[in-house]
Amino acid sequence: MQNKDIKRLSLFLLFAPFALWIILLIILPHIGMVILSLKEKVAPRVYEYSFANYLEFLNEPIYWNTLLRTGSMSLLVTALALLIGFPIAYYIAKIAGPRSRGGLFLLCLIPLWVSDLIRAFGWILLLRETGVISNFLQWTGLVGAPVEFLYNDVAVIIGLTYTVILFMIVPLVSTLDGMDNSMIEAGYNLGGNGFTVLRRIIVPYAMPGIVAGCIVTFMLTAGSYLTPILLGGKNSSWFTEQIYNQFITRFNWEGGAAFGMLLLLFTSLVIWLGLKLSGQTLANTVAKS
């Protein structure tokens, strides 16, 4: 009996920090945001509940265009990160010798510990009109005058892919690492060619890692703020920038909260669809890595 009480008490004590964290910093703030987003200012200091903030979003094409643009560019970045990152992860996990494997993996992790700001700054120094690449092209004589590579969508996509690709590679390496090489050999022995083995054996095995990498990559891209603004210039029209403008520049907290909810709903919807289509769950993908 006493033993049972102790168990109960310790379970309660362990549950308390978890509950405080999740309730005070995640659940209540989000409820507060939903309530705020449903308020409409009808007179100074007088508010009414309505869907006005959401209707404004629908009536103003620039807002939902920005959200769609953010979503589609984030999907493009996610796909690019997967295409570029998968061969790298496969190389690290399966082809590199045991000695170079650890080193390559570490090399992959180094940019992870460098702030977004510094990475974007590095790209600015490379891409701008007076930057390294422009100078190099002039030096080789390929172009006659300085070229501006910054402040366009390509620069934003390069910068974003660069920023998030490590979050794709890390879960991929850890799933591929757990795969038995004999499975690949069996595929070849049964007469499969390289493409069949990749499609029928390697990709299905790596699916949890692929999905985990895609979810994290997509969320980070859609929620990113610095990279699109610094590399895309003033007109990058990224949705987080709209949220910032509503909150800080226009001091319209109700509108900003509605935009925040829309971003959250939109990204959750995309991830839910992705999980459904790939037959995975949040617990066996993101939670595992």
Partner 1 sequence: MLAQNKTTPFLLGYRLYVVAFFIFLAAPLISAGAFAFNDSLFPALPWQGFTLDWFFGDTEPKLGMFHDRRLLQGLYYSFVIAIFVSALSVFVGTTNAFLFVRGEFPGKNFFYILMVVPLVIPGVILGISILVLASDTANYVENRFDLELEFLRPGLMLVVLGQFSFIATITSLVITARLKKFDATMEEAAFNLGASRARVLRTITLPFLRPAMIAAGIVAFLVSFENFNTTLFLVGSEAPLTITMYDRMAKVGSTPVLNAVSFFLMVGSGLLALLSIVVQRDKSAR
Sites for partner 1 among residues 35-54 (CB under 8 A) = 36
Sole binder of partner 1 in the list 9, 25, 68, 83 (CB under 8 A): 25
Instruction: Give the binding range for partner 1 (CB under 8 A) out of 10-18, 47-55, 57-65, 272-280.
Output: 10-18
90 binds partner 1 (CB under 8 A): yes
52 vs 131, which CB is nearer to partner 1?
A: 131
Which of 54, 64, 91, 205 binds partner 1 (CB under 8 A)? It is 91
Q: Which of 5, 17, 61, 142 binds partner 1 (CB under 8 A)?
A: 17
Binders in 214-243 for partner 1, by CB under 8 A: 215-216, 219, 222-226, 230, 240, 243
Sign for the pseudo-dihedral over CA of 159, 226, 110, 100: negative
Q: Distance between terminal CA atoms of the chain?
A: 39
- Smallest gap from residue 51 Cβ to partner 1 (A): 18
Concatenate the DSSP letters of all residues of 133-199 into one string.
HHHHHHHHTS-SS-----SSHHHHHHHHHHHHHHHHHHHHHHHHHTS-HHHHHHHHHTT--HHHHII
Distance CA 137, CA 148 (A): 12
Evaluated on CA atoms 7, 9, 11, 13, the torsion sign reads negative
- Using CB under 8 A as the binding rule, whether residue 210 contacts partner 1 is answered as no
Q: How far is the CB of 100 from partner 1 (least distance, A)?
A: 10
95 is a site residue for partner 1 (CB under 8 A): yes
Query: Which of the stretches 61-69, 83-91, 149-157, 272-280 binds partner 1 when contact is defined by CB under 8 A?
Result: 83-91
Collapse the DSSP code of 289 into the 3-class scheme (helix H, G, I; strand E, B; otherwise coil) and give the result. Answer: coil
Which CB atom, from 15 or from 51, has the smaller least distance to partner 1?
A: 15
The one among 264, 274, 275, 278 contacting partner 1 by CB under 8 A: 264
- Which residue of 76, 147, 247, 252 would you call a contact of partner 1, by CB under 8 A? 247
Task: List the structure tokens of 126.
Answer: 């490379």
Residues 162-181 that bind partner 1 (CB under 8 A): 162
Q: Please report how close the Cβ of residue 113 comes to partner 1 at its closest, in angstroms.
A: 4
Helix, strand, coil fractions of the chain, as percent rounded to 5: 75, 5, 20
Query: Is 86 an interacting residue with respect to partner 1 (CB under 8 A)?
Result: no
For partner 1, give the closer residue by CB, 111 or 152. Answer: 111
The answer to whether 199 touches 239, Cβ cutoff 8 Å, is: no
Token readout for 268 is 């959750």
How would you label 111-122 residue by residue, b for 16+ Cβ within 10 Å and e otherwise? Answer: eeeeebeebbee
